[in-house]
């Protein structure tokens, strides 16, 4: 029996990056504005318009989850903005 080491197997390449994680949307019921939830800071939600822009703070008690229709509309707006501006 030989004590030689078998040839090393090639190291597999890492898997390609997957799609980004789910994006959540909420509606600020004070203004009826739809926004992408970016973060939570100092007890407030930070929302950004789906097509990009300036974030605003929303107290959680004035936020509700976006409906499926609102979420779809937000995703389309975001994709349109990305294709228009090359983001």
- Structure-token pair, residue 21: 């994680």
**pLDDT score, position 19:** 43
Cα(58)–Cα(45) distance, integer angstroms: 5
- Does residue 7 surpass a pLDDT of 90? no
The pTM of the full predicted model, rounded to 2 decimals, is 0.67
Read off the pLDDT of residues 61-78 as tens digits, 9 standing for 90 and up: 999 999 999 999 988 988
How confident is residue 18, by pLDDT bands cut at 50, 70 and 90? very low
Read off the pLDDT of residues 37-55 as tens digits, 9 standing for 90 and up: 999 989 999 999 988 899 9
Cα(16)–Cα(42) distance, integer angstroms: 36
Cα(87)–Cα(84) distance, integer angstroms: 8
How confident is residue 14, by pLDDT bands cut at 50, 70 and 90? low
């Amino acid at each position: 029996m030989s004590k030689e080491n078998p040839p090393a197997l090639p190291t597999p390449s890492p898997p390609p990056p997957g799609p980004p994680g789910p994006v959540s949307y909420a509606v600020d019921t004070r203004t009826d504005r739809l926004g992408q939830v970016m973060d939570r800071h100092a007890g407030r939600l930070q929302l950004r318009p789906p097509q990009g822009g300036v974030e605003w703070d929303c107290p959680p008690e004035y936020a509700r989850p976006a409906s499926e229709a609102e979420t779809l509309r937000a995703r389309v707006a975001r994709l349109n903005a990305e294709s228009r501006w090359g983001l």
